[in-house]
Amino acid sequence: MSEESGHAPAPRELIGLPYDALEAAVIELDEPKFRAKQLWHWLYHRGATDFAEMSSLSKTFREKLAQHAVVSRPGVSSHHVSTDGTQKWLLRFADGNEAEMVFIPEEDRGTLCVSSQVGCTLTCSFCHTGTQRLVRNLSAGEVLGQIMLARDTLGEWPSPKEGRRLTNIVMMGMGEPLYNYDNVATALKIATDSHGLAFSRRRITLSTSGVVPMMQRCGEEIGVNLAVSLHATDDETRNELVPLNKKYPLKDLLEACRTYPGVHNARRITFEYVMIDGVNDSLEEAERLAELLRDIPAKINLIPFNPWPGTKYECSSWEAIEAFSDRLAELGYSAPVRTPRGRDINAACGQLKSDSQKKRRSQILKEQREQAAAPAST
Taking the C-alpha atoms of residue 335 and residue 316, their distance in angstroms, rounded to an integer, is 16
User: Which SS3 state, helix, strand or coil, does residue 137 take?
Assistant: strand
**Site for ligand SAH contains 74 (CB under 6 A):** no
Minimum gap (Å) between residue 159 Cβ and ligand SF4: 29
Query: Cβ closer to ligand SAH: 204 or 303?
Result: 303
Considering the rule CB under 6 A, would residue 351 count as an interface residue with ligand SF4? Answer: no
124 is annotated as an active-site residue: no
Partner whose binding site includes residue 149, from ligand SF4, ligand SAH, none (CB under 5 to 8 Å by kind): none
C-beta of 189 vs 231, nearer to ligand SAH: 231
Q: Alpha carbon of 260 to those of 84, 230, 264, 325, 329: distances in Å? A: 35, 16, 9, 25, 25
Angle formed by the axes of helices 283-292 and 318-330, to 10°? 40
Residue 137 C-beta: closest distance to ligand SAH, Å:
13
Cβ closest to ligand SAH, residue 197 vs residue 215? 215
Q: To 10 degrees, the CA torsion angle through 307, 313, 319, 320?
A: -130
**Is residue 172 a contact point for ligand SAH (CB under 6 A)?**
yes
Rounded Cα–Cα distance for residues 68 and 290 (Å): 56
Strand partners, 274: 303
Considering only residues 290 to 349 of the shown chain, the ones binding ligand SAH according to CB under 6 A are 303, 305-306, 349
Residue type, 169: I
| Candidates 23, 31, 100, 272; catalytic one | 100
- Whether 349 is a known active-site residue: answer yes
Dihedral, CA atoms, 24, 26, 27, 28, nearest 10 degrees? 90
In the list 16, 145, 196, 350, the residue contacting ligand SAH (rule: CB under 6 A) is: 350
Nearer to ligand SAH (CB atom), residue 142 or residue 156: 142
| Selected binder of ligand SAH within 42, 126, 260, 271 (CB under 6 A) | 126
Instruction: Report the Cα–Cα distance between both ends of the chain, in Å, rounded.
Output: 79
Q: Give the E-state strand segments of 23-150 in sequence order.
A: 69-70, 75-81, 87-92, 98-105, 110-113, 117-118, 136-137
Nearer to ligand SF4 among residue 197 and residue 315 (C-beta) = 315
Is 209 an interacting residue with respect to ligand SF4 (CB under 6 A)?
Answer: yes
By beta-carbon proximity to ligand SAH, the closer residue of 192 and 306 is: 306
Determine if 208 is a binding residue for ligand SAH (CB under 6 A): yes
DSSP result, 276-306: BTTTS-SHHHHHHHHHHTTTS-EEEEEEE--
Residues 13-42: x/- map of binding to ligand SAH (CB under 6 A)?
------------------------------
DSSP letter (8 states) at residue 224: -
Choose the contact partner of 166 out of ligand SF4, ligand SAH, none; CB within 5 to 8 A by kind.
none
Q: How far apart are CA 296 and CA 259, in angstroms?
A: 9
Question: In the range 115-174, which residues lie near ligand SF4 by CB under 6 A?
Answer: 120, 122-124, 127, 129-130
Q: Which residues bind ligand SAH (CB under 6 A)?
A: 126-127, 172, 176, 207-209, 229, 272, 274, 303, 305-306, 349-350
By annotation, the residues acting in catalysis are 100, 349
Interacting residues with ligand SF4 (CB under 6 A): 120, 122-124, 127, 129-130, 175-176, 209, 229
